[in-house]
Structure 1
Amino acid sequence: MKVRIQLNDTNFRAGVAIANQVRVAETAPELCHRLKELVQTRSTENFPLPETKEAVRALLRKGGFKPSGRNKPASEYLAQAARESRFPFINNLVDVNNFLSLQYGFPISLLDRSCFGETALIRYGAPGEKYVFNSAGQEIDLARLICICAEEAEVTLPLGNPIKDSLAGKIKPDTTAVIGVIYASARAISSEGMAQLAEEFARLLGTFGGAASTTAQVLIG
């Protein structure tokens, strides 16, 4: 699968992990224990670290989006949930995603690979673009927001972003392959550091998601 970027932001860094033949299941005790320990640690900390938090927010402001309030990055939401004793434990795949986000402070999309063709595009949302992000039918305005999109011919369909992933693209009980996208800035992590993080993402999806094969790559805006 090819992922390309159309942002014109030299600070943008994306770590992309793709895992094939995964199984959606209850989270393994080892990962559950590690995640619970991390949640306990973060419950008393001001996390993400200020420099990471500001770098991610600046990345989102670059396109004209305002990352605050209900539109704060997903990584900030998870850290706040840890502090407020309401951290979500979902399933093995989503818990891998949330573990890494809570560990490093970057927002991450985790999407069903079957929603994509052979290519994907990371671009800014256009004026008027929206998608539903939960079963209640709530929508998020995607204008000027970084989005990961399915791409078919000249048509692109947003499925995820650093704030909230779409309901259509989220992991389902019968999901068998996933694509994960870590959104970050060169102000907070080097390309080498992002490569290591993407590889860790892929490795955890193999260990705890049962993936038969994985790939990891770094993209620069």
Structure 2
Amino acid sequence: MEIQVSRTICDLIPGFSVGVIEYKDIQVGESPQMLKGRLQLFQESIYFDLLEKNVTDLEGIKEWRAIFKTTGKDPNRYRHSAEALYRRIARQNYLQSIHSAIDLNNFFSLEYQIPIGVYDSDKLQGNITLKIGGQNEEYTGLNGRTNNLANLIISADELGPFGSPFVDSDRTSVKEGSKNALQIVYMRPSSSPESMQKMTESLMNMFTQIHGGTGTYRIVGC
């Protein structure tokens, strides 16, 4: 599938890039104990770090808050997904295991302080565009609510919007039994091209180590 970033995003956020990973023939199921253990220990480490600093002091969190503000979305009302995870941990409301794909997504999102989306590519149709959401665009999110997408960065296929660094849609969610997936890694624009490549490849390798199948990745941006 083709994935492109809209001119509007590029004009607002020079250097905007996403890592795109496509997986084939994977097996999504209960997370291995290794992943569950690492996710739990990492959350405990983050909690103690946050006793001495604010979530908004973290560089990755801060940079993505600025992106929301640039596109016209109040970051105090609409927190990007990585910030939302950190705020849960600060309250000791630790993330519980859901399944292997979501758990790994959360682990890398916490490690790099960036939003990451994972989608069942069999539920996607046609090519994908990353753009700024319009006033009347919305979808039912994984949070169980109808989410207005105005002024958010969104991913849309031929059927409409399905993903955002705020919250993803229920329509394209990965579940146990999903066989093919697409991952969108919302990079920090300040990151070097080399670090973007390295991080995306690292995520892909760990994903296929856990889920089997094959993966291909690329960096798409302005």
2:92 aligns with 85
| 1:16-39 deviations in Å (ceiling 9; x for gaps) | 111111112110111111111111
Tell me whether 1:68 sits opposite 2:69 in the alignment: no
Q: CA RMSD in A?
A: 1.7
Tell me whether 1:143 sits opposite 2:150 in the alignment: yes
- Deviation, structure 1 residue 144: 1.1
1:109 pairs with 117, 140, 144, which one? 117
TM-score in terms of structure 1 length: 0.89
- Secondary structure (helix, strand or coil) at the match of 1:147 reads strand
- Shift of the 49–209 alpha-carbon distance from structure 1 to 2, 3 Å rule, reads farther
| 1:42-74 deviations in Å (ceiling 9; x for gaps) | 1122347532222111222222122223x2011
Q: Percent identity?
A: 23
Q: Which runs of 5+ in 2 are unaligned?
A: none
Letter aligned with residue 194 of structure 1: M
Q: Which segments of structure 1 move beyond 6 Å, counting only runs of 4 or more?
A: none
TM-score in terms of structure 2 length: 0.89
- Equivalent pairs, count: 213
Q: Which runs of 5+ in 1 are unaligned?
A: none
- Shift of the 216–32 alpha-carbon distance from structure 1 to 2, 3 Å rule, reads same
CA distance, structure 1, for counterparts of residue 16 and residue 155 of structure 2: 13
2:102 aligns with 94
- Deviation, structure 1 residue 84: 2.1
Retained in 1: the 8 A contact 2:141–2:167? yes
2:34 aligns with 30
Retained in 2: the 8 A contact 1:74–1:107? yes
- Secondary structure (helix, strand or coil) at the match of 2:48 reads coil
Greater strand content: 1
